[in-house]
Amino acid sequence: MSVMEGRTTSALLYLDGVHVSFDGFHAINNLSLTLEPGEMRAIIGPNGAGKTTMMDIITGKTKPDEGTVLFDGMTDLTRLDETHIAELGIGRKFQKPTVFESQTIEDNLLLALNVDHSVRGTLFWRGSRDESERIDRVLETIRLTDARNRLAGSLSHGQKQWLEIGMLLAQDPKLLLVDEPVAGMTDVETHQTAELLKEINKEKTVMVVEHDMTFVRELGVKVTCLHEGTVLAEGTIDQVSSNERVVEVYLGR
């Protein structure tokens, strides 16, 4: 593990001067962003602004060409792979809900629990009361207790989104990266999701990427607008949505 000497920043997540290009296309261009511990941040921006690529960089899926990515002020994420970063305590929900469709909801959560993930540990695994209690709690939070023995593939789109958030909770990370959690949800579900994320934010640091401005407004947190791989504006939702450039490239007049 690449631990630097001493903390250099108080931020939980610190990105500075990050560049990534794919075949000459600059997906991320001098991106700098910090997330303080306990903060919730909403990320908005047009398609192709680099939102998902930024999450790929933080979770180790994509390596940046240049720049610094620090977690907890000490750990250089650019040198670690996905597994290692997940173990450090960064959980991710994908844009397209990705759950293990051929397994039950309970098994999905069981797989997500942050217990021994080694080959030997899982081969000789025997359930414990603590683990099943944690699964019960998560099932209650995501309101899927009655569906626990159903296959995840049989869930509705909105329920899959919730199950994936539930998997994040079971993973118990320090930082949650949530990519478009309310895509395809009804208004009621969107509202419930906002409440759920606010509840989660009481204990954890959260970064949410979302297009739904009503939802972002409901979260009531600091907003960062990305455009062409760099930060265009940052501030409260009112500040950002009244910003000339943001209106021009993203919100439209």
Partner 1 sequence: MTPHVLTRSLDRSATIFLVVVAGLGVLIPLSNLLLPAGSALQVPTYLVALFGKYACYAILALSIDLIWGYCGILSLGHGAFFALGGYAMGMYLMRQIGSRGVYGNPILPDFMVFLNYPALPWYWHGFDMFWFAALMVILVPGLLAFCFGWLAFRSRVTGVYLSIITQAMTYALLLAFFRNDFGFGGNNGLTDFKDILGFNVQADGTRAALFALSCLALIVAFLICRAVVTSKLGKVLIAIRDAESRTRFLGYRVESYKLFVFTLSACMAGVAGALYVPQVGIINPSEFAPGNSIEAVIWVAVGGRGTLVGAALGAVVVNYAKTYFTSGPLAPYWLFMLGALFILVTLLLPKGIVGTFNAWRESRKATEKANAESAALEDGVGEPKPAE
Q: Which residues bind partner 1 (CB under 8 A)?
A: 59, 61, 81-83, 86-87, 91-92, 94, 98-103, 107, 110-112, 114, 117-119, 122-126, 167, 171
Give 102 or 149: the residue with its C-beta nearer to partner 1: 102
66 Cβ contact list (under 8 Å, min separation 6): 17, 18, 19
Distances (CA, A) of 114 to 104, 111, 162, 178: 18, 8, 18, 18
Least distance in angstroms from the C-beta of 91 to partner 1: 8
Distance of CA 253 to the CA centre of its chain: 30
Query: 41 or 93, CB closer to partner 1?
Result: 93
C-alpha distance across the termini of the chain, in Å? 48
Neighbours of 17 (CB within 10 A): 12
Minimum distance, C-beta of residue 54 to partner 1, in the bound complex (Å): 15
Residue among 2 and 122 whose Cβ is closer to partner 1: 122
- Measured from the CB atom, the residue of 104 and 192 that comes closer to partner 1 is 104
Q: Residue 108 or 230: which CB sits closer to partner 1? A: 108
Smallest distance, partner 1 to C-beta of residue 230, A: 25
**Is 8 or 83 the residue whose CB approaches partner 1 more closely?**
83
Query: Please, what is the minimum distance in Å from the beta carbon of residue 94 to partner 1?
Result: 7
CB of 195 to partner 1, least distance (A): 25
Q: Least distance in Å: CB of 9 to partner 1?
A: 25
CA 122 to chain centre: 26
